[in-house]
Amino acid sequence: MRLELKRAIGTSIKSFRLKRDIPQESLGPSQPYISNLEAGRGSASIDKIEQMADVLGVHPMSIIFAGYLTSNEHANKDHLFERIRMELAEIGF
């Protein structure tokens, strides 16, 4: 089942949070904000994703990448990594 990206990013935040046994209140923004994100009722800014990633001990792109993989049932992480490598090389990275 395909999830929209904002909901899938909320799911990835929740997955990392539960794996690390971190309560919603500890992620930085308010607990209702986190609850809404995890339920797909809101969108996180890049700044908020970075803040939550820091608390979770993960790279912010891991949250976004996991969300994208969750939102696209046909996504393959190896192909996606390669695409990102190629696109970054295109702009000199």
Distance between CA atoms of residues 72 and 13, nearest Å: 17
Q: Are 37 and 10 in contact (CB under 8 A)?
A: yes
Is residue 13 very low, low, confident or very high in pLDDT (cuts 50, 70, 90)? very high
> What pLDDT is attached to residue 2?
53
CATH of domain 1-92: 1.10.260.40
Q: Are 56 and 70 in contact (CB under 8 A)?
A: no
pLDDT above 90 for 17: yes
Neighbouring C-beta atoms of residue 50, cutoff 10 Å = 15
Mind listing the pLDDT tens digit for each residue in 22-31? Answer: 999 999 878 9
What are the residue boundaries of the structural domains of the chain, listed by start? 1-92
The alpha-carbon radius of gyration of the chain (Å, integer) is 14
Mind listing the pLDDT tens digit for each residue in 40-89? Answer: 888 899 999 999 999 999 999 999 999 999 888 888 999 999 999 999 99
Distance between CA atoms of residues 72 and 93, nearest Å: 26
Give the pTM.
0.85
